[in-house]
Chains A and B, each alone.
Chain A
């Protein structure tokens, strides 16, 4: 009797034990600061009283937030699914380059994306200038900036890579035998896709969709800079109320609503995800499922998709790069697209502290700081994500609740969380001013859901039989993990690492509250350049943005090379 009890106890400990570290992490660095701000907001509300006018301010941002997030997610998935298919099933020249290039948008600060979009799609951007010449009109036909279209386009630009990596990864590992079985039973390719492949991919598609939706839901910079004053989401309204008006009660209310909506989304997601059963198949690990496109239809698909991706995702990056080496004469009345000349002046200027400013940011130092923070984020979020993913894999009622809790940092307001950091972490050792690890910690809060979402579908695809076989052959649990689980998971681990790396480089979330001038990072430096007029400032911002893209691109290439040992 006692033996059975203790065995059950041990399983209990093992099931719950994995959760200790992630729960502690979230508890200290997420719930504690949030609670502090909510408490402050509550105190202020009691002092000042809640006015009924406040509720009027809730509905408009709430409905618009849902609307733009849903629209953006839909379009991102529509663009991302065929792209995931192309990346998951085919090899083609330039595949690795394309995969890196489509990831780069993710790391760009919004202020830079606005500049890139403007260069392409603005009133005097290249696209409009071309169209004006072709259509022989004097007014720019494409009025995209400062509109809902710009918001949705920017979201697709940012987030397609999530769908490509998460769904593409799952597609690549999908056992084609089921599809082949479907074909051999007479199903057309389309029917096969609809009834065999997509249901198999459902967990991955739902995961990716959830991540994209939550990112769009809490989107701030895109709405503020590319949408304009006519559009306010919950996050923008929280920013205005908390940081401009100091109306903390209303900001707290909006943040609480945001969190509730996140939980609602999680409930919807769980309802949708539960229905997909898990068919145990051997996952294909080393890209055996990928091949060159055969036949004109496949070639058309691959080529067409590559073209679409280049137009949507790569062209703004190119526009930025070109702007960083172009000498534009400001205010010369030149309304054509004449480029007076190419120059490396902006790059040279980056390395000089011509204004002899105390706040000069040496580019190499900024790059190093960005990379250091990124390494810290990967080192922190990967183990935590592993533990959480394993915890989720053992389906218990606790793990179902934890699934929602894990996603909360993505759906929480960065402003509220940042303010929470400022309010609670004021004493050493966790001092906002002096504790350098707060930055990777803040990044990890955002990266953790990604890591979990990337690892989880792969985890559940590990055939239980393999594990049992290994154990029966005498492998210890550690050896089972190392020799059975890890190889199968290695691709998913790579996706997870790349996400946490890029999230850190792009500095999402509450880190704007934590940046310190002694440890400047690339996005901070870019923003500083754009806060003053002058051609040199603009050029240097473009140059630094290009540098950010290069550093990140090299990082991703390095990670991919090491993760897949050169094979694809």
Chain B
């Protein structure tokens, strides 16, 4: 009888021992100094920053920065809006121009006229009241598999209209704008190119040309795209213009030429600008201001490309070599007014859903 119970005791002891052992394996995090304040930054899941850059900020300002990674762009913003009465954080980073109006209408941010804003080009300063300050931008472009096109001596499409040509039948995979941020950006590019009524006809033709639609960037890139490790069937995927650089940076073997490239012809890409804002009602306004300035500073801006694979808005920040060689910013990205997007996005997505999926 006694042995039966001792089995569970052994189990509990074993689990305790294992967890103590594993705790010992964890890298030691330096304890926060006495009197350090904590600043909470709410952001989307793709946020990344170098430890050294972050640590420099923390030490310089005697602060501990705690990050709340809250899902994708839309999810994070909506969570912040829902928690508006008792905010979960002090600063919110990651709202982009497709969602900007929603954030501003919800009165999510406080005004902050950062001194560093003067050096930021006007095209990025989409909020004249400076509640949302620009931090970085990325271009959503179609990435293509270079080897596939070379093998078949196929010309790379040079416009959105080209994608409906028969030689590209079944070769493109896009994401659902209802569930994916790059998917939404691509749909907005088609709206900018063909107009609010014309874009549906364009999608009808794309659908007739056997475009594949999936829900997420992960599925599109890693399951459907032929040039990724997933080795899928489609050689063209909606992704970011920096993705070829990421392929080089994260290649298992050093490579001097990226296996993919982006189509950056005029009107084929959509520029997503990301903003930061100080959440209304935060008790740590001074620290939040310092953090926002930090995000606009050259140190952080130069760290951006190799961490999040986006471009810095601060013109004083220089780009790393691998970016210059393998990633290409769009020369004339498609643009849509943020207010127009906010007013019509849901209706456009509904219409798109009817045309493409039903």
Contact = CB atoms under 8 A, between A and B. Distances in A.
Contact of B68 (A353, A433, A483): A433
23 contacts: A114-B219, A224-B179, A229-B214, A229-B215, A229-B357, A330-B227, A331-B145, A333-B147, A355-B48, A356-B50, A356-B52, A358-B51, A360-B51, A365-B27, A367-B22, A368-B25, A422-B88, A482-B5, A487-B4, A518-B66, A532-B246, A534-B249, A535-B250
Contacts of B34: none
B78 A426 contact: no
Nearest to B148: A333
Interface string A232-262: 0000000110111110100000000000000
Interface string B289-331: 0000000000000000011010000000000000000000000
B232 A123 contact: yes
A313 B132 CA distance: 49
Nearest to A490: B4
A535 B252 contact: yes
A464 B75 CA distance: 53
A332 B218 contact: no
Contacts of B259: 330-332
A327 B252 CA distance: 8
Q: Which 10 A-B pairs rank lowest in CB-CB distance, beginning with the nearest?
A: A534-B250, A331-B259, A331-B227, A368-B22, A333-B147, A123-B233, A538-B229, A229-B176, A536-B250, A243-B75
A145 B223 contact: yes
A245 B223 contact: no
Interface string A456-484: 00000000000000000000000000110
Interface string B42-64: 00011111111010000000000
Contact of B307 (A332, A357, A533): A357
Given A365-B25, A422-B88, A243 B78 contact: yes
B247 A533 contact: yes
Interface string A318-349: 00000000011111110000000001011000
Count chain A CB atoms within 10 A of each CB in B47, B82, B212, B239 and give the residue with the most: B82
A124 to B, nearest CB: 5
Given A531-B217, A538-B222, 7 more contacts: A327-B253, A343-B252, A355-B48, A359-B69, A371-B18, A371-B22, A533-B243
A95 to B, nearest CB: 20
Contacts of A517: 67-69
B45 A531 contact: yes
A538 B230 contact: yes
Interface residues of A, number: 84
A140 B250 CA distance: 30
B48 A358 contact: yes
Interface in B173-202: 176, 178-179
A115 B250 CA distance: 18
Contacts of B239: 533
B221 interface: yes
B40 interface: yes
A244 B3 contact: no
B343 interface: no
A115 B233 contact: no
B31 interface: no
A534 B179 CA distance: 23
Interface in B1-60: 1, 3-5, 7-8, 10-11, 14-15, 18-19, 22-23, 25-27, 40, 45-52, 54
Contacts of B4: 486-487, 490, 565
B62 to A, nearest CB: 18
B256 interface: no
B227 A244 contact: no
Contacts of B15: 371, 375
Given A228-B213, A368-B19, A535 B67 contact: no
Nearest to B54: A358
A426 B48 contact: no
Contact of A357 (B49, B81, B218): B49
A482 B249 CA distance: 60
A329 B147 CA distance: 12
